[in-house]
């Protein structure tokens, strides 16, 4: 594979992970091309300058490496397919996972397809994940070496036939090693902070953002005994397990959002123990490696950075946890693992 005839298109975000990925591939002798994907930058957030800075950082790395650099404008697709999905989900009272959708529709959808049409042999990103080629089962998606940075939770929508064409160069590195390499290579973004928040926007106040699209609607906050103990400005703005931002002043907290009634515009709150549930329904499952028999006991993650929990999954998507799980939330993802391997995932109904 170490041939300049092998063309790898790298998704360059302007961050240190994708930058080091490009350097490692260049040093390995590949024909590397850098691409910055322009995302949707809602004017209401004043985020216009952020994508421009990120693009400039990516361009500087490519200039230093003396590799081609392109900007692919996916801003309309981001808005239509990722932004709209996020806003519509909140309108329905569920909590979306825009980073999963971003990877599905943009990075391993539009970007992947365009790269292949432009002659790429492989695509690469700065995600903390690993792939391997097994003799019998083909390509597999594995957790990153750095378990604290592992991003496979957001990658379960990748198709199995894509995996053999995807490279994650930093997947076998710890984050401090990546920083060290960036400094060694003289990259100007070596100390750049990791991106936070939603994939296409970054950090921002979600509630203030949603208010631009969903009108506030005053409603009651009710405890599990049926007592009205406060008021909210719209069930859309709150998610299961949320503690902060609740207008409750009886001094008997902390309270957590346990469930929501969209039709009646009521938020029900309770204690930490009330967040524990054992059952969930999983729909729209994408299998990278589908189990041969059901039901099957798997390691399951129901939100990013949440600990893995043992659960039994039936063929129809019924998921039963052995010891219960905290704040299972409609719209979020349940991702299935067997050891280091990610098997697939789906949406919590």
Whether residue 293 sits in one domain with residue 255: no
Q: Mean of the pLDDT values across residues 210-219?
A: 94
C-alpha torsion 25→27→30→32, nearest 10: 60
- Could you tell me the pLDDT band of residue 195, with boundaries at 50, 70 and 90? confident
Whether residue 252 sits in one domain with residue 301: no
Q: Mean of the pLDDT values across residues 75-92?
A: 95
Whether residue 143 sits in one domain with residue 55: yes
Whether residue 262 sits in one domain with residue 152: no
The pLDDT value recorded for residue 133 is 81
Q: How far apart are CA 37 and CA 221, in angstroms?
A: 42
Whether residue 263 sits in one domain with residue 283: no
Residue 331 lies in a domain: yes
The residue that leads in pLDDT, 137 or 258, is 258
Per-residue pLDDT tens over the stretch 279-302: 999 999 999 999 999 999 999 999
- Could you tell me the pLDDT band of residue 205, with boundaries at 50, 70 and 90? confident
Q: What order of strands is seen across the sheet that includes strand 266-270?
A: 228-232, 219-223, 266-270, 256-261
Per-residue pLDDT tens over the stretch 15-50: 999 999 999 999 999 999 999 999 887 765 555 557
- Could you tell me the pLDDT band of residue 349, with boundaries at 50, 70 and 90? very high
The pLDDT value recorded for residue 199 is 65
Average pLDDT, the chain: 93
Residue 203 lies in a domain: no
Percent of the chain with pLDDT over 70: 93
Q: What are phi and psi of 69, to 5 degrees?
A: -130, 135
The pLDDT value recorded for residue 292 is 96
Total domain count for the chain?
3
| 203 pLDDT above the threshold of 70 | no
Residue 294 lies in a domain: yes
Residue 2 lies in a domain: no
Domain extent, residue 80, equals: 7-184
Catalytic residues: 102, 199
The pLDDT value recorded for residue 201 is 61
| 246 pLDDT above the threshold of 60 | yes
Q: How far apart are CA 140 and CA 130, in angstroms?
A: 8
> Which CATH number do you get for residue 80?
3.40.50.620
Residue 207 lies in a domain: no
């Amino acid at each position: 594979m170490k041939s300049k005839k092998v063309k790898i298109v790298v998704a360059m975000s302007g961050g240190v992970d994708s930058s080091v990925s490009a350097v490692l591939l260049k040093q390995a002798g590949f024909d590397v091309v850098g691409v910055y994907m322009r995302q949707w930058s809602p004017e209401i957030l004043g985020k216009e300058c952020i994508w421009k800075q990120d693009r400039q950082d990516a361009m500087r790395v490519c200039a230093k490496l003396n590799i081609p650099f392109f900007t692919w404008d996916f801003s309309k697709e981001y808005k239509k397919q990722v932004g709209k999905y996020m806003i519509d989900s909140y309108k329905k009272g569920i909590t979306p996972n825009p980073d999963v959708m971003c990877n599905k529709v943009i990075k391993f959808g539009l970007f992947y397809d365009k790269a292949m049409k432009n002659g790429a042999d492989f695509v690469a990103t700065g995600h903390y994940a690993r792939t391997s080629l097994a003799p019998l089962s083909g390509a597999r998606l594995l957790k990153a070496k750095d378990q604290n940075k592992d991003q496979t939770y957001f990658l379960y929508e990748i198709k199995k036939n894509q995996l053999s064409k995807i490279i994650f160069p930093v997947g076998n590195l710890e984050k401090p090693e990546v920083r060290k390499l960036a400094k060694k290579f003289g990259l100007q973004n070596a100390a750049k902070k990791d991106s936070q928040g939603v994939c296409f926007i970054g950090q921002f106040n979600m509630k203030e953002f949603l208010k631009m699209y969903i009108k506030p609607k005053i409603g009651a906050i009710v405890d599990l005994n049926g007592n009205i103990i406060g008021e909210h400005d719209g069930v859309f703005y709150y998610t299961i397990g949320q503690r902060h931002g609740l207008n409750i002043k009886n001094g008997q907290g902390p309270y957590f959002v346990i469930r929501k009634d969209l039709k009646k515009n009521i938020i029900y709150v309770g204690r930490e123990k009330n967040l524990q549930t054992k059952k969930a329904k999983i729909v729209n499952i994408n299998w990278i490696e589908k189990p041969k028999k059901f039901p099957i006991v798997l390691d399951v993650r129901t939100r990013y950075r949440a600990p893995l929990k043992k659960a039994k999954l039936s063929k129809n998507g019924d998921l039963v946890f052995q010891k219960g799980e905290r704040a299972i939330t409609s719209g979020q993802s349940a991702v299935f693992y067997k050891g280091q391997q990610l098997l697939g995932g789906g949406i919590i109904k």
